[in-house]
Amino acid sequence: MHAEQVLLLLSAAASAGWVDAVVGGGGLIQLPALLLLNPGQPVATALATNKLGSLAGTSSAAVAYLRRTKPDLHVAGPAAVMAVCFAAVGALCAAAISSDVLKPVIMVVLLTVAAIVVLKPDLGRVPAPVLRTRRRVAAAVLVPGAVIAFYDGLVGPGTGTFLVIAFTTLLGMDFVTASATSKIINTGTNLGALLVFAAQGHVLWAIGLAMAACNVVGAQAGARMAISRGSGFVRAVLLCVVTALVAKLGYEQFT
C-alpha cells in the first residue's frame, strides 16, 4: 500500500472509532475502506483486520464510559462472556453462509429500527425503567450475547446499533446508558471473532495495529462527546448510521 492509502485507511479507522463509540456502526466506514484501499486481499483478511481495529476501539470506549457513566454490568457481564463464544461461532460460519442471503433480512431489521426511532421520539431520550422480570432480563442477555454476537462474527456492520436498540427497547435504558452497556458486549463480540480469524491466519497485524491506535483516538473522542451531549445527540447519530446502513445494503442488493 502507498503512503496516501495508509493515511486514508488510518483516517477511516479514527472516524469508525468515533461512530462506534457513540452508537455503533463503525464497520460501515472501516470495512469498506479496507476493501477499497487494498483490493487484492481476500475478504476474510479485510474482516479480520477490521476486527483488530474495532476491538481496540470498543474496549477503549467501554473504559471511557465506565469512568464517566453507569453501564448495566449485571446484564453486560454475562452477555459479554456469551458474546465471545457466539461471535466465534459466527466467524466460523462466515465462509459457509452467503451474505447475499442475509442482506435482505438485515435491511428489514434496519428499517424496523429506523421506524421505531422515528415513530417513538421519546425512545432513549430519558430512562424508562421497566419491571425486570426474569424473562425480560434473560432476553436482555440472550439477544445481545447470542443473536447479535453471532451476527457480528458472521457479518459485522451495524452490531453496535443493534445492541443499543436492544437495550433501549428491552430494559428502557436511555441512549447513553445503552451505548455504554453495548460497548462491553461489543468488545466481547470483536474478541471472539478476532480469535477465530487470527487462528486462521487472516489478520494483517502491522496495518491492523496502526488502525487500532487510530480507532482508540476516535473512540475516546466519541465516548466523551456522547456523554457530554446526551441522548438527543446519540439519537441523531443513530438515525444517520441506520440510514447509511440501509442505503449501503440497498445499493449492494439492487445493483
- What gap in Å lies between CA 65 and CA 93, rounded to an integer? 32
For 6-17, the pLDDT digits (tens) are 999 999 999 999
b (16+ CB within 10 A) / e for 110-136? bbebbeebeeeeebbbeeeeeeeeeee
Long-range contacts of 136-139 (CB under 8 A, 24+ apart): 136/170, 136/171, 137/75, 139/170
Q: How many Å from the N-terminal Cα to the C-terminal Cα in the chain?
A: 29
d(CA 139, CA 249): 28
- DSSP letter at 69 equals S
pLDDT at position 106, please?
Answer: 62
Predicted confidence (pLDDT) at residue 253 exceeds the cutoff of 70: no
Per the model's pLDDT, the better-predicted residue between 2 and 188 turns out to be 188
- How far CA 151 is from CA of 36, 105, 128, in Å, comes to 23, 12, 27
Among positive and negative, which fits the CA dihedral 125, 152, 65, 130? positive
Q: What is the largest CA-CA distance in the chain?
A: 56
Q: Lowest mean pLDDT of 138-152, 202-216, 232-246, name the range.
A: 232-246
Q: Is the pLDDT of residue 123 over 80?
A: no
Lowest mean pLDDT among 6-15, 108-117, 148-157, 241-250: 108-117
DSSP code of residue 23: T
Better-predicted residue by pLDDT, 101 or 15: 15
Whether residue 28 is predicted with pLDDT greater than 80 in this model: the reply is no
Summarize pLDDT for 175-231 with one digit per residue, the tens. Answer: 899 999 999 999 999 999 999 999 989 899 999 999 999 999 999 999 999 999 888
The pLDDT value recorded for residue 126 is: 66
**Confidence at residue 121, expressed as pLDDT on a 0 to 100 scale:** 65
Mean pLDDT of 162-181: 90
The answer to whether 222 and 18 have CB atoms below 8 angstroms apart is yes
At 148, the amino acid letter reads I
CA 80 → CA 68, 129, 226, 248, 255, distances in Å?
20, 22, 22, 28, 37
Quick one: pLDDT band at residue 113, thresholds 50, 70, 90?
Answer: low
pLDDT over 90 percentage in the chain: 44
Q: Give residue 102's pLDDT.
A: 59
Higher pLDDT, 44 or 15: 15
- Which residue in 75, 244, 107, 95 sits closest to 173, CA to CA? 75
In the predicted structure, residue 99 carries a pLDDT above the cut 70: no
- Read off the pLDDT band of 62 (50, 70, 90): very high
Q: How far is CA 6 from CA 14, 22, 25, 205, in A?
A: 12, 25, 22, 14
For 67-86, how does the pLDDT look when each residue is reduced to its tens digit (9 = 90+)?
A: 988 899 999 999 999 999 99
Grid cell at residue 179: 451505548
Whole-model pTM: value is: 0.85
Q: What is the mean pLDDT of residues 11-36?
A: 86
Kindly give, in sequence order, each residue whose CB lies less than 8 Å from that of residue 23, ignoring residues fewer than 6 positions away. Answer: 160, 161, 164, 175, 179, 226, 234, 237, 238, 241
- The residue with greater pLDDT, 19 or 98, is 19
User: CA 119 to CA 113: how far, in whole Å?
Assistant: 10
